[in-house]
Homo-oligomer: A and B are copies of this chain.
Amino acid sequence: DVSSLDSKTSHRTHTFPGLVNVAAFVPNLALPNTRDLFEATKASISAGFTTAVILPCGQGNRIADRDSLEYARANLAGSAHCNFALGITATASNTQALDDEIQAEAKLLFIPFRVAGATLSLSVIAAHFASWSPDKLILTDARGADLASILLLASLHNRSVHVTDVQSDDDLLLISLSKAKQLKVTCDVSVYSLFFTREQYTQNHLLPTSATQKLLWKNLEMIDAFSTGSTPYQLAQDLSRTPSAWSGAEEVLPLLLTAVTEGRMTLDDIRIRLHDNPVQIFGLPDQTHTHVEVIIGRKIPFGKRGTCWSPLEGSSVSGNIHRVVVHGYTSFLDGSLFSAPSGRDISAASVNH
């Protein structure tokens, strides 16, 4: 069906492979007996994501040792609606505790700068770089000063780093300079950073200014992936609206597809940044007969299944999910979820594409 969107005469359908929810933020992921992770996988599948790479750092809790990893796993045992990958959050005290076993079970090491509130000292970060398995990714939300340090360490250790939620053109420049010298660095920009601004939501400091947002769009080529991240959750909270583990997921495709109808990006731009590159960057197992059918070009009110607040409430969008197929079975169709809890824990799997 790759044919005729260009004509823009009417609505079209398009089929993506199963997409990846990059840096899904789950507020209570590492506490015993919460349903947030379960809800996050439901939100993902409802939003066209058949795999979720989950930020191992929630709202005041995080996966940072064996206990918290087990809590998170127990919260999802037999109940995940999509494939999911868990990682470990670097802390000032867990360098030694992250032994071979726990490293083998984790998808990545997350070095937090913004999500976690507190910042690790350079010597702690250097120790993590020295001890975290060279085969496993390091994920970070560093920016500015901290980003330069992280990239320096990545360069010195010649290791893979993915920078999530890049928020400035200067940070994109640092990353692209590193890439130009064959450093194994990739990055994503959160979808909200591309569509909402600090001027619109003055209570929130995570969104870019509209001037910076323009530069992010201008540098789309430098952006390897689109992420969900913690901005949607934080934005709802800053506005004193209801946030949840669903925050931000359902908005991704409607926002991006609307941008396609406006000629601001292509369907390929979406596939590359929500499937091809994430699969590569995170070494994710590909899912056979797993597709997302979308409708583009028909202006409809934004519809959602989540009960949390959305910045798109009351807005029209020009793109929508029609169906999500996982391993040949329809998991989601026209707003209704038929998903079975058959998502697998792919944290330990590492596929070289």
Distance of A266 Cα from B124 Cα, bound (Å): 32
The interface bits of chain A over 141-156 (1 if a CB of B lies within 8 angstroms of the residue's CB, else 0) are: 0001110110111011
A148 interface neighbour in B152, B177, B180, B181, Cβ under 8 Å: B152
Distance of A145 Cα from B148 Cα, bound (Å): 7
**Are A153 and B177 interface neighbours, CB within 8 A?**
yes
Could you tell me which residues of chain A, from 109 to 152, have a CB within 8 Å of some CB in chain B? 121-123, 126, 144-146, 148-149, 151-152
Could you tell me which residues of chain A, from 53 to 82, have a CB within 8 Å of some CB in chain B? none
Chain B CB within 8 A of A178 CB = yes
Chain B CB within 8 A of A174 CB = yes
Q: Chain copies in the assembly?
A: 2
A-side interface residues, number (CB < 8 Å): 23
Give the most central of A126, A145, A177, A181: most B CB within 10 Å: A177
A145 interface neighbour in B126, B145, B173, Cβ under 8 Å: B145
Chain B CB within 8 A of A199 CB = no
**Are A122 and B183 interface neighbours, CB within 8 A?**
no
| Closest chain B residue to A145, Cβ basis | B145
Could you tell me which residues of chain A, from 320 to 353, have a CB within 8 Å of some CB in chain B? none
Question: In the assembled complex, which residues on chain B have CB atoms less than 8 Å from the CB atom of A205?
Answer: none
Question: In the assembled complex, which residues on chain B have CB atoms less than 8 Å from the CB atom of A177?
Answer: 126, 152-153, 156
Question: In the assembled complex, which residues on chain B have CB atoms less than 8 Å from the CB atom of A180?
Answer: 156
Chain B CB within 8 A of A264 CB = no
Determine how close the nearest CB of chain B comes to the CB of A184; give it in whole angstroms.
Answer: 13
Question: In the assembled complex, which residues on chain B have CB atoms less than 8 Å from the CB atom of A149?
Answer: 148, 174
Chain B CB within 8 A of A170 CB = yes
Chain B CB within 8 A of A289 CB = no
**Are B183 and A156 interface neighbours, CB within 8 A?**
yes
Question: In the assembled complex, which residues on chain B have CB atoms less than 8 Å from the CB atom of A151?
Answer: 148, 152
Chain B CB within 8 A of A241 CB = no
| Closest chain B residue to A150, Cβ basis | B148
Chain B CB within 8 A of A157 CB = yes
Give the most central of A122, A146, A148: most B CB within 10 Å: A148
| Closest chain B residue to A149, Cβ basis | B148
| Closest chain B residue to A152, Cβ basis | B152
Determine how close the nearest CB of chain B comes to the CB of A14; give it in whole angstroms.
Answer: 37
**Are A156 and B178 interface neighbours, CB within 8 A?**
yes
Could you tell me which residues of chain A, from 168 to 211, have a CB within 8 Å of some CB in chain B? 170, 173-174, 177-178, 180-181, 183
With A149-B174, A152-B155 given, name 15 new contacts (CB 8 A). A126-B173, A144-B145, A145-B146, A145-B148, A146-B148, A148-B151, A148-B152, A151-B152, A152-B152, A152-B174, A152-B177, A152-B178, A155-B156, A156-B181, A156-B183
Q: Can you list 21 contacts pairing A with B, beta carbon distance less than 8 Å?
A: A121-B170, A122-B170, A123-B173, A126-B177, A144-B145, A145-B146, A146-B148, A148-B148, A148-B151, A148-B152, A149-B174, A151-B152, A152-B152, A152-B155, A152-B174, A152-B178, A153-B177, A155-B156, A156-B177, A156-B183, A157-B181
Q: Which 3 A-B pairs have the closest CB atoms?
A: A145-B145, A148-B148, A156-B181
